[in-house]
Structure 1
Amino acid sequence: MINIAIVDDNTAFLQEMKQNIEACKEFTADMVCDTYCSGADFLQADCGAYQLAILDMQMAGMGGYEIAQKLREKNENAVIAFVSGVVLPEPEHFRVQPYRYLLKSADIDERMRDIGELLLETKRRSRREVAEVVSDGEAWRVPVGSILYIEKTKRGSRLTVEAGAAGGRKTLQSNERLEDWYAQLCAQGFEYAHTSYIVNLRAVTKIMQNELTMSNGDRLGISRTCSKKFHQSFSLYFHKKYKRGAKE
C-alpha cells in the first residue's frame, strides 16, 4: 500500500489535486490519497506512514517547510513536494530534500506531468523499502524499517518485526540465509551484532559495550568477534543521521 497525503488549507484546491492524482495514469489500485486542511491535522495522524506528501508552503499556523521538518523526523525516505501560488524556493527548504516544487498556476498538462513523476518516484522508493519474506507455504511483504533484527536458524532465518507489520505476528520465518539478508540490507542500516544475527541500527534504543536494547525491549548481546565493526557502523550511521537532522 502506498499512502499519499495532500495538505492545504484551500479545500477547493485539495479536492482538485486529489482528483488530478487519482486520474493520473501512474495512480494504481494499491494507492490511497488522503487530504488534510492543516499541518496540525496531518501531524496528528500517522504522518510517518505516508510515502508521498504534497504540502502547501503557505498555510495559517504551520507552513509546508515546518511540516516537512517534522515529517522527516518520522520518515527519512518519504517523497516531499511543495506546492505554492507565489512562494519561491529558499535555500533552507532543501534541507528537507523536497523532490519537486509545484505551482498552483501551472496548466493542467504541466501539473499532470509533475504528478506522474512524483508517483513514479514514490513507487521506486517503496519497492526499495519493502522486504519479501518467503517461508514454506506463505509469503509476506514487510517494510524494511519495521524489521528489528534477523536471526540465523537451522532452516534459514527468523525475522523479529514491529507490532502490526505482519498482522498480529511478532516473528516471521524465512527460507533465506542470514548472509543473504545481510547482503540485501547492509546498505539500509543493518549490521552484525553477533555472527548469528543482524540488527536494524534504527531500532536500537540503547547500546553498551557488550549489549544493546531494541525498540521492542529485547536485549541482545554484542559478540567480541563483531564488536569493533558493529560499534563503528553504529557510530557512522548515527553520525550521518545527526548531521542530516541538524540541517533540518
Structure 2
Amino acid sequence: MKKIALLGLACLVLSGCGTVQKTIKKEPTITMTEADINQLAQNNISKNMNELENKEGFKCDIYDSNGIHNWYFLEEFQFVLQNKLSPLKKSPILDSGKIYCVIDKYGNNIPRTYNVNVVERGLINNVEYSINYSDFSGNIGNDSKSSDNYWMFGCRTDKMNDKKECSADNYSANVSILKNKHGYLLQIGYDHYPGKKVSIRINKDKVLNSWREDGTFNYQISNNIIKSIKNNDVVYVRYVKWPYENEITNQLDVSYFKEVLRLLDTIYNLH
C-alpha cells in the first residue's frame, strides 16, 4: 500500500502517469502606434461632432480639441453645445472667417460629455478677430488682455425695454466705444471721481473734455471723435479715479481702430 501511495505522489509531482498537460494560449497583443491613436480619435471626434452639427443646425470648418490628449477620445463620449447659438443670417459672418468647434477641456459624467463652443476666427485687413456664435462676444488684436491693441466685444439687451447695446473695450487704456440705435458713445475710464472731467487729445489737436458722470461724451462729439481717428494717430486719454482722486493718463493704441469699428458695427447689426 505504501508503494502505491508513493507512486501516486510521484505521479502528481512529476505531472505524469497518464495526465495531459494543458497549455494556455495567450491572445496576441495589439500595439497601437501614435498615428493609429490619432486617426481613431479624429474619426470619433468627426462622428460625434457631425451628430451635434446635424442636431443643432450648424457646420464647423475646423475642430479644435483644445489640447486634450487623443487618448480621451478613444472611449465613449458625446458633445453638447456650451450655449445655445444665436440666429445667424450668414455664416461665416465675415467672408474671411472660418468656423471652429472648440471643445471644452473638462469632460464629465459617463459617458464623458464635452461642451462645444462655436467660434468664428479670421482676419480683417490682416488683423486677427474672433466672434462667439452664442452671444456675439469677441475680440480683435493680439490675443492678450494686456496688449495695448487688444479689444474685447460684448452685447447686451435691456430686459425691460429690449434696447440693445454693444461695446468694444480696450482694457489697457480703459476706453470703451458703445454703440446703440443713436450711434456711438465714447467712454473714458471707470470709477470716476464726482465732478471731475475726462479728456481726450488726438495728435496735437485741441483737448476735448466731458464732465458727464459716467465718463462719456455726448453722441455728437463721440461720433465726431470716433470717425476722425485714424490708425496712425497718437491718442491720449485722461480721467480722475475715485476714491483717491488719482489722475490717470493713458495712451490709446489705435493701430487697428478702423478694424475695431468694422467688427463692432457687424456685431451690433447681428445682435
Q: Which has the higher helix share?
A: 1
Is TM-score (shorter-chain normalized) higher than 0.5?
no
Larger radius of gyration: 2
* TM-score, normalised relative to structure 2: 0.22
* TM-score, normalised relative to structure 1: 0.23
